[in-house]
Chains A and B, each alone.
Chain A
Amino acid sequence: MDIDSFLRDPTSRRRFFRMSGLSVAGGSAMLLAACSDDTKNPVAGPDDSDLADVEILNGALDLELMAVAAYKAGAGRLSGDALQLGKAFLEQEQEHADGLAAAIRDAGGMPNRAKSSYDFPVLRSQADVLRFALELENTAIAAYIDALPKLSPGELRATSAAIITNEAEHVSLLLDALGREPVPSAFVTGRET
């Protein structure tokens, strides 16, 4: 499937993100693990909250690992400043993945591993890669924001907000590289078009 069809077709996007541990409903992305509404269960014990954290963080890790694979796959179509951006984003997504894996182990869980392959849309040009990357980054932001209240209070929430902010920074640079307004809204939700 080419990138235009992918970006136009919500069913294709849903299928694609579900394969990487995400569900996409009503135009928004949601970590699968976050679908059980833990915020309505304030009496959950510490073991339960660790378990919930591990599930949510593994959903985020799946997405970060997919982003790493996407930037590696797309690098061949990039050049000049766009290539430098792609490399920088790749490194930062890998840092997120490493941090999430460490947090999952700290909570007593087993980090998910990268899939052996991802069924990315066909990326024929630099613009295709940038537009696909923009879709991935926005999806990640929406997923993290949906999951944020389901994480245990404290450092995990704060660090997730720090990752969301970094993904939003990537979005700005991708928009700029595509010749669009880099800061289109006062509120970043991942659902901006």
Chain B
Amino acid sequence: MDPIRRGRTADRIAIADGAADSSEIAAFERDRRELLRRGFTLGGAAIAASSIPLLLSVRNAFARATGDGAVLDSAITIERVSVIAYDTVIAGGLLSPGLTRVARRFRSHEQEHATTLTTALTDLGGTPPEAPDGVGAVDDVVEGLGDVASQADVLSFLIELETATVAAYFDAHANFVEPRLLQTGASIMANEGQHLVVLRKAAGQNPIPNAFETGAE
């Protein structure tokens, strides 16, 4: 179905931390199947289904956040997690020198996003969230960072992480209120899409599979 015409964003998000009604469960199953069909692989094996609720719960935090402060809180966390993930893969030494330079560049972009969003949150009178707790925090977004064993694994992992980030910003755009935050969010989401292009190309994938880059196709 046309992405513009399909159901409202509030109906799309899948899993709840607490009680979930049947429509949410059905939506979760649909998103889970979507993710599995997309064939996210790590070391040749499909990502464990158990990782998907974690990924979706991060999206859920964006989608359920009410008010700019709450959305910013989630966005800062996912950007900081991305910085940790890039630090980890750079230190892991599995990437070629060229791709290591790319990873360093993307890591600096994620840090710039986190810094800008933190400033926006404090400007709104909010308090920045606690720093994520090391590599374990990455597992709350996408599992498997600890299992990567090759450059292909790393690229698959980073593609999934960037895709989850795009999906989170897609959901956030239904919730941002302040015009400037909407625009900043879009410019960050677009940058994550550009990261995806480079990573997909490096992984031998179609770099632009979706005319509507929602992070969910």
- Co-complex (A, B): yes
Residues of A within 8 A of B (CB): 39, 88-89, 91-92, 95-96, 98-100, 102-103, 106, 141, 144-146, 148-149, 153-173, 182-183, 185-189
Stretch at the interface among B37-45, B126-134, B145-153, B208-216: B208-216
| Closest A residue by C-beta to B115 | A186
- Interface positions, chain B 152-172, Cβ under 8 Å from A, are 166, 169-171
Known: A99-B4, A182-B194. A158 touches B213 (CB 8 A): no
Q: Is the CB of B144 closer than 8 A to any CB of chain A? A: no
In the complex, what distance in Å separates the CA atom of A182 from the CA atom of B106?
11
Which of A141, A157, A159, A182 is B212 in contact with, Cβ under 8 Å? Answer: A159
A188 CB to nearest chain B CB (Å): 4
Known: A164-B186, A182-B197. A92 touches B191 (CB 8 A): no
Known: A166-B210, A189-B187. 6 other contacts (CB 8 A): A158-B170, A159-B4, A160-B173, A161-B170, A172-B197, A172-B198
In the complex, what distance in Å separates the CA atom of A155 from the CA atom of B214?
11
A169 CB to nearest chain B CB (Å): 5
Known: A99-B212, A154-B9. A183 touches B113 (CB 8 A): no
Which of B5, B184, B193 is A168 in contact with, Cβ under 8 Å? Answer: B193
Are B190's CB and A164's CB within 8 A?
yes
Contacts of B55 in A (CB 8 A): none
Are B183's CB and A149's CB within 8 A?
yes
Are A149's CB and B212's CB within 8 A?
no
Counting contact residues on chain B (CB < 8 A from A), the size range is 35 or more
Determine the main DSSP class of A at the interface with B: helix
Known: A149-B182, A162-B214, A173-B207. A155 touches B9 (CB 8 A): yes
In the complex, what distance in Å separates the CA atom of A153 from the CA atom of B186?
14
In the complex, what distance in Å separates the CA atom of A154 from the CA atom of B10?
8
Q: How many A-B residue pairs have CB under 8 A?
A: 148
Known: A148-B186, A154-B174. A166 touches B198 (CB 8 A): no
In the complex, what distance in Å separates the CA atom of A91 from the CA atom of B183?
26
Are B179's CB and A158's CB within 8 A?
no
Which of A89, A156, A162 is B170 in contact with, Cβ under 8 Å? Answer: A162
Are B193's CB and A166's CB within 8 A?
yes
Contacts of B196 in A (CB 8 A): 169
Are B213's CB and A166's CB within 8 A?
yes
Q: Is the CB of B88 closer than 8 A to any CB of chain A? A: no
Contacts of A96 in B (CB 8 A): 211-212
In the complex, what distance in Å separates the CA atom of A166 from the CA atom of B188?
13
| Closest A residue by C-beta to B112 | A186
| Closest B residue by C-beta to A146 | B183
Contacts of B112 in A (CB 8 A): 186-187
Contacts of B195 in A (CB 8 A): 183
In the complex, what distance in Å separates the CA atom of A144 from the CA atom of B213?
15
| Closest B residue by C-beta to A154 | B174
